[in-house]
Amino acid sequence: MVTTEKSAIEKTLFSYRDALNASDVSKVLTLYSNDGVFMPSNAPTAIGQEQVKDAYAFVFNAIQLNIEFFIDEIVVNGDYAFVRTTSKGTTLIHATGQRVPEENRELFVLHKAGGQWKIARYMFNKMQ
């Protein structure tokens, strides 16, 4: 059972990675719970679908990500899971056209509702 849940969680995270790399706000939103919270580095916390939508629209307007996620840990406890990841790749800054290295560590809290794992809380920060 835990292996099945971990596989489903991995699928959610890789769908999130794909949505980030595609700068697809609507796809990101489908992966968040209705009351999801996005806590980006150096930016305000976004709570709920509308604020999360606006936060990602702002991010995608400023940059284009090209990253890969590496899953370090998945802990499943009932309908909640805690996931620790790192990501690495590049960021294209739209304003300058400059491509810079991107490397973060992330903490996800996922909640399973209606048979689907959704991002309930997400926080990341730079590793360097």
Spell out the residues 6+ positions from residue 5 whose beta carbon is closer than 8 angstroms to its own. Answer: 76, 81, 112, 117
Amino acid occupying residue 99: R
Assess whether pLDDT exceeds 90 at residue 57.
Answer: yes
Question: pTM above 0.85?
Answer: yes
35 HSE (CA, 13 A, CB side): 3
Tens digits of residue pLDDT in 61-115? 999 999 999 999 999 999 999 999 999 999 999 999 999 999 999 999 999 999 9
Q: Measured in Å, how far apart are the chain's first and last C-alpha atoms?
A: 37
pLDDT (tens digit per residue) in 20-35: 999 999 999 999 999 9
Is the domain defined by 2-126 classed in CATH 3.40.50.720? no
Indicate if the pLDDT at residue 10 is higher than 80.
yes
Closest to 73 (Cα-Cα) out of 83, 59, 81: 83
The pLDDT assigned to 2 comes to 74
